[in-house]
């Protein structure tokens, strides 16, 4: 199994460990995303290098994965290319990082983290917050999703200058089918209810190094894009019948809301309940910011 993470060796470099196949650290099979198409996408940097992705969910909070090195991070918003600075870009340091207290490195269960930015950001045409899938959201097999991220296009080849954000289409695989497709791989552990699988049956399309922490996005055809998953781990590089694994965001509505709420004067994310199919008379339900129960913990480190 590989994790879509970047670590520091002598110099900061993207590294993935695969169960099978060569290393291709990128959104495999992706195309250039139009500028401004994904205004909630953020680039997490360490030592001036992109290491992972994330998504802006409020004006002070970024949602990402738990499995990467969390020290000395900077977050860039409004970014389209890694090589050319755009006037829309802004940067924030990270004030605090909260990983789930039950994150399991061996299985990637509960692979979720919240990054608290050093100061609020202003929403504009190029920087927006993404709605999150609410508890009870349903993602049937075959549901179309979008993955986005920056990364290399081969083991020794960087994403061509100027490093434009990549996007690709993948499709949901239900957890039972996902288990059947992955169970014979050498490093496979298990698929839990906290995970969501997606891929392309023929292979050739999927997330890779540098995409970790970025959003898996879903729309039911009659509402806006909603973040349904967090890019977490996978087996091989976009191999046929080998879905990638994402953290299922809808399982963490209470965790996300409660953690943000214990900080003073915070806006809360928007949660949307997705159900399929979408009809003209039935739109996805938008959950108000006050619908989640509050659980106050005695210490921030207990999450």
State how far the Cα of 177 lies from the Cα of 181, in Å rounded to an integer.
6
- Determine which one of 67, 137, 228, 233 is catalytic: 67
**Taking CA 66 as the corner, what is the angle to CA 81 and CA 77, rounded to the nearest 5 degrees?**
25
Tokens of residue 131, six digits:
């709605």
- Which residue is catalytic, options 43, 137, 212, 228? 212
Instruction: Say whether 20 is catalytic.
Output: no
Burial class (CB in 10 A: 0-12, 13-18, 19+), 93: exposed
DSSP string, 41-61: EEEEEETTEEEEEEEE-SSSE
Query: In the 8-state DSSP scheme, what is residue 87?
Result: T
Instruction: Provide the pairing of β-strand 132-133 with 271-273.
Output: parallel
Encoding tokens for residue 72?
Answer: 């000395």
Can you count the helices (H) and strands (E) in the chain? 2, 19
Q: Is 229 helix (H, G, I), strand (E, B) or coil?
A: strand
Report which DSSP code applies to 154. Answer: B
Annotation says 289 is catalytic: no
- How far is the C-alpha of 214 from the C-alpha of 149, rounded, in Å? 7
Q: Which residue has the tokens 């290393």?
A: 23
d(CA 89, CA 121): 11
Task: Provide the H-helix boundaries in the chain.
Answer: 175-182, 253-261
Q: Is 230 exposed, middle or buried (0-12, 13-18, 19+ CB in 10 A)?
A: buried
| Distance in angstroms (rounded) separating the CA atoms of residues 219 and 223 | 6
Assess whether 111 carries a catalytic annotation.
yes
Residues labelled as active-site residues: 67, 111, 212
């Amino acid at each position: 199994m590989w994790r879509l993470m970047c670590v520091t060796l002598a110099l900061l470099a993207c590294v993935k460990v695969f169960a099978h196949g060569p290393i291709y650290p990128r959104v495999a099979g992706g195309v250039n995303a139009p500028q401004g198409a994904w205004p909630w996408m953020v680039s997490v940097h360490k030592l001036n290098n992109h290491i992972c992705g994330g998504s802006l969910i409020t004006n002070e909070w970024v949602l990402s994965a738990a499995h990467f090195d969390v020290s000395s991070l900077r977050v860039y918003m409004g970014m389209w290319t890694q090589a050319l600075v755009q006037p829309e870009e802004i940067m924030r340091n990270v004030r605090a990082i909260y990983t789930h207290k039950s994150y399991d490195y061996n299985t990637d269960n509960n692979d979720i983290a919240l990054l608290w930015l050093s100061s609020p950001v202003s929403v504009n045409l190029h920087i927006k917050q993404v709605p999150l899938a609410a508890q009870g959201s349903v993602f049937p097999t075959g549901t179309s999703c979008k993955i986005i991220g920056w990364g290399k296009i081969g083991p020794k080849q960087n994403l061509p200058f100027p490093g434009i954000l990549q996007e690709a289409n993948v499709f949901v695989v239900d957890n039972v089918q996902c288990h059947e497709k992955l169970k014979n791989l050498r490093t496979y552990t298990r698929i839990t209810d906290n995970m969501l699988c997606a891929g392309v049956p023929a292979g050739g399309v999927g997330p890779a190094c540098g995409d970790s922490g970025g959003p898996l996005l879903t729309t039911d055809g009659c509402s806006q894009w909603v973040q349904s998953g967090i890019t977490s781990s996978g087996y091989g590089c976009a191999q046929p019948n080998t879905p990638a694994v994402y953290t299922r965001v809808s399982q963490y509505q209470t965790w996300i809301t409660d953690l943000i709420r214990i900080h003073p004067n915070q806006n809360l994310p928007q949660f949307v309940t997705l159900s399929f199919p979408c009809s003209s008379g039935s739109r996805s339900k938008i959950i108000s910011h006050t619908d989640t129960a509050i659980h106050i913990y005695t210490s921030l480190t207990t999450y």
